[in-house]
Amino acid sequence: MKIALAGIGKIARDQHVPAIAGSSDWDLGATVSRSGSVEGVPSFTSLAEMFEAHPEVEVVSLCMPPKPRFDYAAEVIRAGRHVMLEKPPGATLSECHILRDMAAAAGVSIYATWHSRQAAQVAAAKAWLAERALRHVTVIWKEDVRRWHPGQDWVFEAGGLGVFDPGINGLSILTEILPDPVHLRSAELLVPENRQAPIAARLAFHHTGGAQISAEFDWRQEGEELWTIEVETEDGAIRLSEGGASLHIDGKEVAQVDGAANDGEYPQLYSQMAMLVREGRSEMDLRPLALVADAFLLGERRVVAPFEF
């Protein structure tokens, strides 16, 4: 199937382009970007121009930041094409609900992707936790924003999510592996005095079974970066680390099982999108974004030192 990429930045070049190139489901037919392009692929500055020149394009994968994404996604749906959304699926929950309803009315597929759920050991962790009672869950997501978003001031603007840009990856795994739903009870947001979005956050969740669940996100990490989820149950404990790539059960490392999980996170997303299109279905899980929205609603804001790239 022919697919187009809209928004040719770092994430598109690092992840989306290689995933499409290695897929037997997709052929990259065009790109849409104000400044970027992919060698050997027709490039355009607007969706309208691209659709006119390449009516064979069936799907558009949107890789731009969340704030402008709604207008692009709505245009794709109105053109009768399927749409794939990089995480987070939008700048607000309301616009995501509207896009979901638009896609259903138009009879096209829409897919809100969460790449961290495709990490190699997430499915194994979910299966292990399925029949166990939780006691404690701790999510730690600490990385260096200068490494992953060098000079990208938009991540600290209103709608840029700040530290929740990576933190939502941890929340996407949390909502996937826990056998019971959780909701936010309280949050503390640390916002640089010269920025609009938090550089760090601490969250506490409510669990119907009384488990203590918390998360800590920080974009100021120096040295070793941490992407871990530790879960203590009444029958043992697990530790997911490296963003879900590594799993320890009761301190013993679990070997990865051969299969799709070893293909990489983004190739799996594109395989899933192909299946959704062929089966005429959509997948729009908004739970991770809802938790982030609740953090902004409930969060106590604390001003911290200015931040500059």
Residue 29 banded pLDDT, cuts 50, 70, 90: very high
β partners of residue 236? 233
Residue 28, pLDDT score: 98
pLDDT at 122 over 60: yes
Residue 263 banded pLDDT, cuts 50, 70, 90: confident
CATH number for position 220: 3.30.360.10
- Of 49, 84, 112, the residue that ends a domain is 112
Question: Looking at the structure, do residues 171 and 300 belong to the same domain, yes or no?
Answer: yes
Range of the domain at 61: 2-112
Question: Looking at the structure, do residues 94 and 143 belong to the same domain, yes or no?
Answer: no
142 is catalytic: no
Question: Looking at the structure, do residues 54 and 194 belong to the same domain, yes or no?
Answer: no
User: Any idea of the CA torsion for 76, 81, 86, 88, to the nearest 10 degrees?
Assistant: 60
Task: Give the separation between CA 29 and CA 10, rounded to whole angstroms.
Answer: 19
Residue 238, pLDDT score: 98
CA angle 121, 163, 123 (to 5 degrees): 15
Number of domains observed in the structure of the chain:
2
- Of 59, 93, 112, the residue that ends a domain is 112
Q: Give me the count of residues in the chain.
A: 309
| Active-site entry in 10, 87, 126, 142 | 87
71 lies in some domain? yes
284 lies in some domain? no
Average pLDDT, the chain: 96
CATH number for position 61: 3.40.50.720
Question: Looking at the structure, do residues 121 and 237 belong to the same domain, yes or no?
Answer: yes
- Of 68, 88, 112, the residue that ends a domain is 112
β partners of residue 212? 136
Q: Is this prediction's pTM over 0.85?
A: yes
**What does the pLDDT average to over 285-293?**
98
Question: Looking at the structure, do residues 186 and 299 belong to the same domain, yes or no?
Answer: yes
277 lies in some domain? no
Question: Looking at the structure, do residues 34 and 131 belong to the same domain, yes or no?
Answer: no
Least-confidence region, from 41-45, 210-214, 261-265: 261-265
Question: Looking at the structure, do residues 201 and 186 belong to the same domain, yes or no?
Answer: yes
pLDDT at 143 over 80: yes
Neighbours of 181 (CB within 10 A): 11
87 lies in some domain? yes
Output the CA torsion sign for 164, 302, 145, 12: positive
